[in-house]
Structure 1
Amino acid sequence: MRFDGIHHITAITGDAPRNVDFYTRVLGLRLTAKSVNQDDPSVYHLFYGDEVGSPGADLTFFEYPGALPGRAGAGMVHRIVWRVGSAEALAFWADRLEAEAVDVERGGGSLRFADFEGLEHELVVDESGDPPLVAVHPEIPAELALHGFEGVRAYSYRPQSTAAVLERLMNAEPQDGDRWELRGDARRGWIALDTIPDEPARQSAGTIHHIAWNTTEAEHGRWLEVLQEAGIPNSGLVDRHYFRSIYFREPGGILFELATAEPGFTVDGPVEELGTRIILPPWLEQQRPAIESRLTPLPDPRADWAPVTR
């Protein structure tokens, strides 16, 4: 069994309206779902991605209003690496981000920047051969849009133990000394381990909460058996309604999730309606009035668009 790269990455924001603006208007992702943290329904869980909410381009945020800036450190993913189609796309994004007063760092075939809360991103030219996962945007031509995740960079308390879990348990392939690739039949992605910074980690706005690896309903139960046979504490099977999950913290402190590609966000409605209303799993539906009363209203970021076709 192998993972089809990254399923989703979940981070934290302290400002949902500004978060929606940055990731939809500036980065051109689609708001694919407005939901709530199922473990804390008082806060948003926002999902951004390609046009149909595919695993592999799914960046999500828990909103804790007013949360202070966090700091990435040991036991955390600290940078998201995205694919773009060409060197011309890198130049396009450098210009676009600088026009938004976002500091960018160019060089070595990549472009680095951070969002308004300090969450690190990097763009690299796509050489994967995987189908691009692209969202429609009126200001961003399809050939210049983001293609989905390439990989992540992380800090581990125990890099050798993290490497052992990746290689022996998760069938990741070591590459270039500090990087491990997880490749299945559909897609691939990687995780790289960097030297831990001196300052301690602080989980808050602008930091990554966990990374999820992409599997299938057919293999999900077997992955649970693998974890249990290895003696790794885990959450057991968790029904997230839009996918099924297993959570565990690998020995270096990074929180991993194993998430299924099925059933996806269209379980609640057609693809045309993604991101237009707050969606709740069935077991929270009876609490909708109370939940919605606590959430900051977030309009559909596409409500005023002229029709866009490709």
Structure 2
Amino acid sequence: MQLDGIHHITCITRDAPRNVDFYARVLGLRMVKKTVNQDDPRAYHLFYADEAGSPGADITFFEWPDLPPGRAGAGMVAAIVHRVASEDALAFWEERLTREGAPVERSPGRLRFANPEGLAHELAVVETADPPLVARSAEVPEEHAIQGFDSVRALVADVAHSEAMVRQVLGFTPAGERTWESRGEHRGSRITFERAAEWGVQGGGTVHHIAWSAARADLDGWRERIMAVGGRPTPVIDRFWFESVYFREPSGILYELATRDGAGFAADEPAERLGERLTLPPDFEHLRDELERELTPLPDVRRWRPGAPAAP
């Protein structure tokens, strides 16, 4: 059994309209699913990714407007690193993000910035054989587009215990100081652990969980491995577009194993129209009228897609 790096990363926002503007317009990602949190259906769950909604490019957000702002600390992913193609791409993003009012920090091969709620991101020029996972945007040239996840930086209370989980149980391999790589047949990505003395506070602008990409046929085997070291994984949960197992690693980070060979985001809407309307798993369809009345109206993402009419 092998994991294929990061499947998706799920975060928290307090402001879904602003979130859509930042990730779909500013960063040029494609909204591939506008739906609800299946454990809290009166909250949005928004998915942004490449054109196909591929594992390895999918950053998602729960909207909880009443939740206070959070703070990254032990037991949390603190920064998300995305790949880009070149230093020229970094220069494009430095200018674009600065123009949008996002503070940036440039260094060779890297650009650090935060989303409007303070969630830390980095863009990195990375040499890899992995195919680039790119979205088409009316505002971001393809040669400068974000190409999928490279890695995450995680804060933990006990680095050794967190490293033991990824090494001994999940099969990651060393990739630098306190850095571990998950690489399978299809793709790979990395996690770097840093010790933090202060525990994190989950809220707006923080990461809720990180999902690693697994084959459906392996989920039961992964559950057995996790239980063998005292972990407490959930049963396999059907999320309609994929299936998942959740558990907490030794410092409390919520990990998910999500299937790369699930139904996919085009299972219930045409691939060319992904994310344009509210879609609900069948078990929630009876709530549609109520949810469409209650959920906050969102920007029309079609305006930022190639071929959209020019703004008046």
- Alignment TM-score, normalising by the size of structure 2: 0.95
Q: CA, structure 1 residues 287+190, in 2 after alignment: closer, same or farther (shift >3 Å)?
A: same
Residue pairs, 1:20-31, within 5 angstroms: 20-31=20-31
Q: Percent identity?
A: 52
1:188 shift after superposition: 0.3
Residue pairs, 1:134-145, within 5 angstroms: 134-145=134-145
Q: CA, structure 1 residues 144+283, in 2 after alignment: closer, same or farther (shift >3 Å)?
A: same
Taking the aligned partners of 2:305 and 2:251, their CA distance within structure 1 comes to: 45
1:87 shift after superposition: 0.9
Match of 2:273? 273
Taking the aligned partners of 1:131 and 1:223, their CA distance within structure 2 comes to: 26
1:101 shift after superposition: 1.2
SS at match of 2:137: coil
CA contact (8 A) 1:247 1:255 kept: yes
Match of 2:247? 248
Taking the aligned partners of 1:112 and 1:305, their CA distance within structure 2 comes to: 25
SS at match of 1:263: coil
Match of 2:80? 80
CA contact (8 A) 1:275 1:300 kept: no
1:306 shift after superposition: 5.6
Taking the aligned partners of 1:70 and 1:231, their CA distance within structure 2 comes to: 29
1:68 shift after superposition: 2.6
Taking the aligned partners of 1:197 and 1:133, their CA distance within structure 2 comes to: 36
CA contact (8 A) 2:30 2:136 kept: yes
SS at match of 2:279: coil
SS at match of 2:217: helix
The Cα offsets for residues 30-76 of structure 1, whole Å up to 9 and x where unpaired, read as 01111111000010000000011001000000001243321001100
Taking the aligned partners of 1:231 and 1:128, their CA distance within structure 2 comes to: 35
Match of 2:230? 231
Unaligned 5+ residue runs, structure 1? none
CA contact (8 A) 1:246 1:259 kept: yes
CA contact (8 A) 2:137 2:304 kept: no
Taking the aligned partners of 2:197 and 2:122, their CA distance within structure 1 comes to: 19
In the alignment, does 2:182 pair up with 1:154?
Answer: no
Match of 1:295? 295
Q: What amino acid sits opposite 1:128 in the alignment?
A: T
Q: What amino acid sits opposite 1:253 in the alignment?
A: G
The Cα offsets for residues 252-306 of structure 1, whole Å up to 9 and x where unpaired, read as 1111000001211111122111001111111111111122222012243114756
1:126 shift after superposition: 2.3
Match of 2:8? 8
CA contact (8 A) 1:265 1:274 kept: yes
Match of 1:126? 126
Taking the aligned partners of 2:305 and 2:281, their CA distance within structure 1 comes to: 29
Taking the aligned partners of 2:243 and 2:95, their CA distance within structure 1 comes to: 39
1:123 shift after superposition: 0.6
The Cα offsets for residues 121-169 of structure 1, whole Å up to 9 and x where unpaired, read as 0010021210000000112111110000001001112211111110000
Moved more, 102-111 or 55-64: 102-111
Equivalenced residues, count: 307
CA contact (8 A) 1:175 1:181 kept: yes
Taking the aligned partners of 2:68 and 2:298, their CA distance within structure 1 comes to: 21
Taking the aligned partners of 2:210 and 2:197, their CA distance within structure 1 comes to: 20
Moved more, 202-211 or 213-222: 213-222
In the alignment, does 2:210 pair up with 1:211?
Answer: yes
Taking the aligned partners of 2:116 and 2:197, their CA distance within structure 1 comes to: 21
The Cα offsets for residues 161-185 of structure 1, whole Å up to 9 and x where unpaired, read as 1111100000000221210000001
CA contact (8 A) 2:37 2:62 kept: yes
Match of 1:18? 18
CA contact (8 A) 1:276 1:299 kept: no
In the alignment, does 2:213 pair up with 1:202?
Answer: no
- Alignment TM-score, normalising by the size of structure 1: 0.96
Q: What amino acid sits opposite 2:135 in the alignment?
A: A
Taking the aligned partners of 2:303 and 2:142, their CA distance within structure 1 comes to: 20
Match of 2:51? 51
Match of 1:60? 60
Taking the aligned partners of 1:111 and 1:225, their CA distance within structure 2 comes to: 40
CA contact (8 A) 1:128 1:188 kept: no
Moved more, 280-289 or 17-26: 280-289
Q: CA, structure 1 residues 273+4, in 2 after alignment: closer, same or farther (shift >3 Å)?
A: same
Q: What amino acid sits opposite 1:91 in the alignment?
A: A
Q: What amino acid sits opposite 1:213 in the alignment?
A: W
Match of 2:94? 94
SS at match of 2:277: coil
Taking the aligned partners of 2:110 and 2:98, their CA distance within structure 1 comes to: 15
